[in-house]
Structure 1
Amino acid sequence: MMAHKKETFAQTLYRWLYSLFLIACLPLLLLLFKKKLRMDPNYSGQPRKFNERFGCVPTKLSGGGILVHCVSMGELNASVQLVNRLQENFPELPITVTTTSTTGAMHAYTLYKDSVQHLFLPIDIPFFMHSFFNKLKPKLVLVTEVEIWPNMIHQCVKRDIPLCLINARLSDESLPMYQKLSFLLRPALRQFDVICAQSQSSYDNFTKMGVYKPQLKLTLNMKFDIEPSQDDEVKATLLKDKYGFGDGPIWLAASTHEPEEKFVLNVFAKLLTNFPTLRLILVPRHPHRFDDVYLIAKATGLTVTRLSDDDRAQAQVTVVDQMGWLKACYCICSQAFIGGSIAQKGGHNALECAMYAKPMVMGTSIFNNPGIVEMLKAQGSLDLIESEEQCFERLKDLLLDANINEAKGQAGLAVLLNNRGAVEMTYQQVTDLL
């Protein structure tokens, strides 16, 4: 393990100023977390404990294992193959997955059920993190993508806990902001034993941030290692057999945010004039918006149903109001719109669509995964659109020509298959720390 660089007096001062800022913001943070818990009160049938945000760890949880921190759904999906591998090869080590968002908490349960422990990551205030690490006592901490919490990192350093940043991402767009905060972020980044960069551009940007080269490993992007699960295939069969989705064309709007539902519904209404048997599946990104999206769809005058409805008539629009069904929807759709790309959220993971060989369209907000988007776009699997008219024209072409539709879908799958291997490389780096 690499020797950690000790904090200078100035670095300690900056970290404490950062901590004081968080303490000053604590009332607002508490209100925000309370609101989110009211929106999504359950993730496994049990109310989430609000005190987890303050470093409280239930006594029933096992300590001394591996801690994996993921912000939300995207990071969870990217890390699932690595977590499964660690479970298989180190069954004696309990794995605890922490998330920041309530949506992430619900998705963690969908992915793992009871095979891992789940907690909310505490607010990054020294005494909360001290309490959290005192009780959990992990042997190894893995942090996904871009989560840099100085006090969490400081606890790992103080306790000599190996620390690895996996699937690490630092985009060209984010680099200037990181450099402005380099007085706080550079010392934190230098405390990681290993940083597994997901691309050459991220690797280069970490070096520009002052990360030591011996810390950096180019392990590529674990998002390419996703695989369909048997559970998703069972759900896809249910959608066909019990929910009325037959062999007709289906357009999927995946992980949508406001105002993307209205955008998609307007395009869909126009497509119906040429393709009257076309059906639309709407999958909102966040559970607290399920009811709102249903009402938005109903207001169009189209026939609308929910996935949870007892009456599962073949409506023109189906709103998926349950967690864990997105990949099954990718499996049965003809084409997909990838959400978060019109709503300026940076775009969600298009590789989940490519895994099922389906062509896709996205808006121009792609800063979350620019490399992936460019690869899919270059191979012809993904089209970027800026307006409802462009979206309509792209989808009309796909619906009119099944051969083009199939070829674009297969091109996306080829991109996925040709870039696998990141999980294996990351696994080797991680196990070297155990």
Structure 2
Amino acid sequence: MRSLLLRLYGAFTTMAKPLVRRKLRRRAVAEPGYAVAVEERFGHYDDSAQGTGWCWIHAVSLGEARAAGILIAELRRQMPGIPILLTNGTATGREEGAKLLEPGDLQVWQPWDSPDAVARFLDRFRPRIGVLMETEVWPEMTAACAERHIPLVLANARLNEKSLAGAERLAWLARPAYSSLAAVWAQTEADSHRLVSLGAKVSGIFGNLKFDATPDARQLAGAAKLRAQLPRPVIVFASSRDGEEQQLLDVLKRFGALAPVPPEREGVQSIVKRVHDVQWMIVPRHPQRFDEVAALIESNGFTVARRSAAGAPTESEIWLGDSLGEMALYYGLADAALLGGSFEALGGQNLIEAAACGCPVIMGPSTFNFAEAAELSLAAGASMRVPDMEHAVTAALKLVEKTERRDAMAQAAVAFASSNRGAAERTAAALLAIAENAVAMEAAPVPPEERTEPRLD
């Protein structure tokens, strides 16, 4: 029996559909991917979207899709031919997810969390098991899966303090949703404690799937070849977020405007020369901001060369990494990386890929999204933390000048990434065990007293 509050939530999400459609139209102006197959978001599919017995994996956006790719590869290793139904919520997530599909797999949009859309999705595909990646827990979906006896799990699960506080404010929705999950596999012990406080059944602390990612060998080889030809070291601002690029540009302008070194200190290299002796690169986190960041760089008086522009001049003051799926190339080129999302109160972006590529990381004060990974990397000597952008630029300049320290940090980064592998194997094994148990339960007869009538909504 559904609670009154959950029924009210369902009524709200149903009434909100026109607003969702309007939001999608607006987003499609900048990102055309949001205009693709819109009706799938409301549970309406074409005839090609068929099949049953799926291993359904939901990866809302780009980061979750990359983690899902690691898990899917391990699932296929442990159970070749497993049919994958992949859902996404953002255009970048869907684009990345499309790269993971093999013949027999299927990709559709995540259904909007209204009773009718969720019911149509589950009735059409009848997944054997559902896997939510990292953070995506929706009240209607969890309730509907529980009613249909579809095991729904949360993999690579993380929950920071800010998200916990938000969930506690909506505890009447969050607690039933988390307690309905068949299993939760947390990234860290701290994540586990927070998830348990919301009623989740944490079945294991498996680590972060992203440690199991292998950097693209071709990109790293290409980076090494190009790097040998470059006249200057490279510092990359990786996965930068709105507001952070301006911070970097302000610091570069301020350092470049400093007075020359006084005569009594002629032997000391000036900050001006050190700034100009480095090739700076910015790689925005979100592709819809590529043009905006290019314009921002030029409006601040810098010349910019875009990765997407054939034959872009290497002598440009700032390079713009405006491509998807090439982070291994950018990290391979870089002598050091500034961590995006950590210089505003955004919680930081994932530093694991940089470590796997042997790129030392300099992070700002805000890393709550990846708190344990950040602390482990610091302890391993793979990264350093600074209070603000000015200190970050200064630290990066010192690092590229002191090649012995830079090389030591690079080696520590690779060792740090390698020593934390194994989450994919553990997660895939646990997931397949639940799926096999679901198959056994389907084959068993249902006692009359446990039978339920089909829903009519």
- Same fold, judged at TM 0.5 (above): yes
Equivalent position of 1:253 in the other structure: 237
Residues 368 and 49 of structure 1: CA distance in aligned 2, closer, same or farther (over 3 Å): same
C-alpha separation in 2, matches of 1:20 and 1:351: 41
Residues 131 and 232 of structure 1: CA distance in aligned 2, closer, same or farther (over 3 Å): farther
**Amino acid aligned to 1:316:** E
Equivalent position of 1:85 in the other structure: 74
8 Å CA contact 1:348–1:368 kept in 2: the answer is yes
State the SS of the aligned residue for 2:369: coil
Q: Does 1:236 align with 2:223?
A: yes
Equivalent position of 2:280 in the other structure: 280
- Aligned ranges for residues 75-154 of structure 1 at < 5 Å? 75-110=64-99, 116-154=105-143
C-alpha separation in 2, matches of 1:96 and 1:29: 23
C-alpha separation in 2, matches of 1:36 and 1:359: 35
**Amino acid aligned to 1:53:** R
Question: Which residue of the other structure, out of 48, 51, 60, is the alignment partner of 2:48?
Answer: 60
Equivalent position of 1:169 in the other structure: 158
Tell me the matched-pair count. 417
Residues 169 and 360 of structure 1: CA distance in aligned 2, closer, same or farther (over 3 Å): same
C-alpha separation in 2, matches of 1:123 and 1:295: 35
Equivalent position of 1:211 in the other structure: 200
Residues 113 and 298 of structure 1: CA distance in aligned 2, closer, same or farther (over 3 Å): farther
**Amino acid aligned to 2:180:** Q
Residues 112 and 327 of structure 1: CA distance in aligned 2, closer, same or farther (over 3 Å): farther
Residues 283 and 98 of structure 1: CA distance in aligned 2, closer, same or farther (over 3 Å): same
State the SS of the aligned residue for 2:378: helix
1:76 Cα shift? 1.9
C-alpha separation in 1, matches of 2:377 and 2:185: 23
State the SS of the aligned residue for 1:165: strand
Q: Does 1:319 align with 2:307?
A: no
Residues 264 and 245 of structure 1: CA distance in aligned 2, closer, same or farther (over 3 Å): farther
Q: Does 1:13 align with 2:14?
A: no
C-alpha separation in 1, matches of 2:318 and 2:31: 24
C-alpha separation in 2, matches of 1:235 and 1:291: 25
1:268 Cα shift? 4.1
C-alpha separation in 1, matches of 2:353 and 2:372: 15
Equivalent position of 2:293 in the other structure: 293
1:128 Cα shift? 0.7
1:70 Cα shift? 1.2
**Amino acid aligned to 1:291:** D
8 Å CA contact 1:260–1:339 kept in 2: the answer is yes
Q: Which runs of 5+ in 1 are unaligned?
A: 1-7
Q: Which runs of 5+ in 2 are unaligned?
A: 256-270, 436-457
C-alpha separation in 2, matches of 1:256 and 1:406: 24
Moved over 4 A (4+): 110-116
Cα shift readout 1:117-165 (whole Å, capped 9, x = no counterpart): 3222111001011111222222111011121111111222222222211
Q: Normalising to structure 2: TM-score of the pair?
A: 0.84
Cα shift readout 1:16-52 (whole Å, capped 9, x = no counterpart): 1222232343333222222222222149xxx622212
1:245 Cα shift? 6.3
Q: Normalising to structure 1: TM-score of the pair?
A: 0.88
C-alpha separation in 2, matches of 1:273 and 1:107: 40
Question: Which residue of the other structure, out of 199, 208, 211, is the alignment partner of 1:224?
Answer: 211
Equivalent position of 2:37 in the other structure: 49
- Aligned ranges for residues 324-403 of structure 1 at < 5 Å? 324-403=325-404
Residues 57 and 232 of structure 1: CA distance in aligned 2, closer, same or farther (over 3 Å): farther
C-alpha separation in 1, matches of 2:221 and 2:410: 22
Equivalent position of 1:415 in the other structure: 416
1:292 Cα shift? 0.9
C-alpha RMSD of matched pairs (Å): 2.5
Cα shift readout 1:262-289 (whole Å, capped 9, x = no counterpart): 1223344536631434112221112211
State the SS of the aligned residue for 2:192: helix
Equivalent position of 2:30 in the other structure: 39
C-alpha separation in 1, matches of 2:275 and 2:391: 17
Task: Out of 171-180 and 196-205, give the one that drifted further.
Answer: 171-180
Residues 14 and 358 of structure 1: CA distance in aligned 2, closer, same or farther (over 3 Å): same
C-alpha separation in 2, matches of 1:292 and 1:111: 29
C-alpha separation in 2, matches of 1:71 and 1:399: 37
State the SS of the aligned residue for 2:434: coil
Residues 234 and 55 of structure 1: CA distance in aligned 2, closer, same or farther (over 3 Å): farther
1:372 Cα shift? 1.0
Task: Tell me which structure has the larger Cα radius of gyration.
Answer: 2
1:403 Cα shift? 0.9
8 Å CA contact 2:14–2:115 kept in 1: the answer is no
8 Å CA contact 1:63–1:94 kept in 2: the answer is no
C-alpha separation in 1, matches of 2:365 and 2:125: 42
1:295 Cα shift? 0.9
8 Å CA contact 1:250–1:281 kept in 2: the answer is yes
8 Å CA contact 1:66–1:139 kept in 2: the answer is yes
Cα shift readout 1:210-268 (whole Å, capped 9, x = no counterpart): 334xx522222212222113453466368x29xx9626311111111211111223344
Cα shift readout 1:368-394 (whole Å, capped 9, x = no counterpart): 111111111233322233333212221
Residues 330 and 303 of structure 1: CA distance in aligned 2, closer, same or farther (over 3 Å): same
State the SS of the aligned residue for 2:236: strand
Equivalent position of 1:4 in the other structure: none
C-alpha separation in 2, matches of 1:95 and 1:113: 9
C-alpha separation in 2, matches of 1:164 and 1:391: 39
C-alpha separation in 2, matches of 1:411 and 1:17: 53
> Identity of counterpart residues, as a percentage?
28
State the SS of the aligned residue for 1:255: strand
State the SS of the aligned residue for 1:349: coil
8 Å CA contact 2:69–2:97 kept in 1: the answer is no
